Amino acid sequence: MEEDINYIKILLEVASEYENGDINELKNNLLETNKVIVSLTSFLDEEKIQIEFWKEHFEILLVKYSFHSSLLLKIIEGTQIIDLENRIVVMQDISSLRIIARVMIENYLTIYDLFFSPKSNSEGEMRFYLYELSGLTSRQKFEAKNHENIIKKEIEKNRIAEIQELLKVNEYFMSLESKYQKATLSGKSSREISWEKLIEKSDIQSKLFRSLWRLFSNTAHSELLGAIQLKETIKNGQEKEIEEIFTTLFSCVLLNSCLIVNFLDLYPNSKRIFKNNSTDLYNKINVWSKLAKYDIEDKLENE
């Protein structure tokens, strides 16, 4: 009962922050959740956690994610632009904000796909092999000019053949339809499905994060729609910029929290990184995570 009351109390507090549009509080939330991600990453190393071989890239992908989250905080402070006359203008860099937020979504989805979603070792191994196969296959397209790189390229070529044989005897791989098996062995993609399908399959709100990913992708690809959206944001002034920053910040706080809770579920002993004075933060993270995962529109459609 007390736990339910605490949850409702924190939920109302979070709702109040959102309603008031408090960007400074959101910036602090993003900073604090990123600190937790950094501490969890250190936990893996310091505690010498024994992980399955197919989770080999977990730690470095967490490091990559925390870099992006930290960079987002710097971008929000504004980007300095200087001309030849050394005139300085500080502007809100909405384009870079969107691009980094998009990278965070894709980084989260990669971590989810490789480490959180596999329901068996064979599924996890298959994802690991696919991830490695795609990376090495892509590297084969680059020309090796010096002796060291030529040797390295040949070694990786042999590793590609080895991975393909390992995939062929993988239980999860063998359960796939033949057309998916063929696509997997080609090494053209590091994922079984597209980003949008992966968003739908993952545990985060599909409608919210799919819409955000599409919006951010328009900017990242320098498409006309992205240029029009950016022009409208600048044209409408500071109020529109603040709204854009707030929405992006809030979605990234939710994403950070979802990543943290999934990590804690995977390695329950890691909960001890939260000291007694971090209880409020721990509770808030759980609330944010539930908000990230609860898709109210999907629930209504299924009722």
Q: Calculate the CA 33 to chain-centre distance.
A: 13
Q: What are the structure tokens assigned to 111, written together?
A: 């971590």
Higher pLDDT, 268 or 78: 268
Structure tokens given for 46: 């310091």
Kindly state the average pLDDT of the residues 42-54: 87
Shared domain check, 182 and 85: no
Same domain, 210 and 108: yes
If asked whether residues 106 and 233 sit together in one domain, one would say yes
Angle at 171 between CA 167 and CA 174, to 5 degrees: 70
Query: Which H or E run contains 104?
Result: helix 94-111
Residues 19 and 101 in one domain: yes
Token output for 185: 């062995």
Q: How far is residue 187's CA from residue 160's CA, in Å, rounded to a whole number?
A: 9
Is the pLDDT at 299 greater than 70, yes or no?
no
pLDDT greater than 70 at residue 302: no
Higher pLDDT, 109 or 191: 109
The answer on 291 and 258 residing in a single domain is yes
pLDDT at 22: 76
- Report the length, in residues, of the chain: 303
Domains of the chain: total: 2
Domain final residue pick, 143, 162, 193: 193
pLDDT value, residue 296? 46
Give which of 257, 267, 256, 250 is closest to 289, Cα–Cα: 257
pLDDT band at 143 (very low <50, low <70, confident <90, very high): confident
The distance between the two most distant Cα atoms of the chain, rounded to a whole number of Å, is 68
Q: Which of 144, 164, 193 is the last residue of a domain?
A: 193
261 and 165 belong to one structural domain: no
Do 41 and 185 lie in a common domain? no
- Same domain assignment for residues 133 and 172: yes
Residue 176 shares a structural domain with residue 38: no
Span 185-228, pLDDT tens digits: 998 888 888 999 999 999 999 988 998 999 888 887 777 766 77
Q: Which of 169, 193, 217 is the last residue of a domain?
A: 193
Q: Do 104 and 15 lie in a common domain?
A: yes
Higher pLDDT, 238 or 25: 25
- 182 and 218 in one domain? no
Q: Give yes or no for a contact between 52 and 123, defined as CB atoms under 8 angstroms apart.
A: no
| Same domain, residue pair 271 and 128 | no
* Domain that residue 65 falls in: 2-117+202-302
Q: What is the pLDDT of residue 6?
A: 57
Q: What is the pTM of this model?
A: 0.87
The pLDDT tens digits for 60-103 are 999 999 999 999 999 988 888 898 989 988 878 888 898 999 99
Residue 1 has pLDDT above 50, yes or no: no
- How much is the pLDDT for 277? 66
Q: Which two structure tokens, joined as six digits, stand for 112?
A: 């989810």
So what's the pLDDT on residue 303?
40
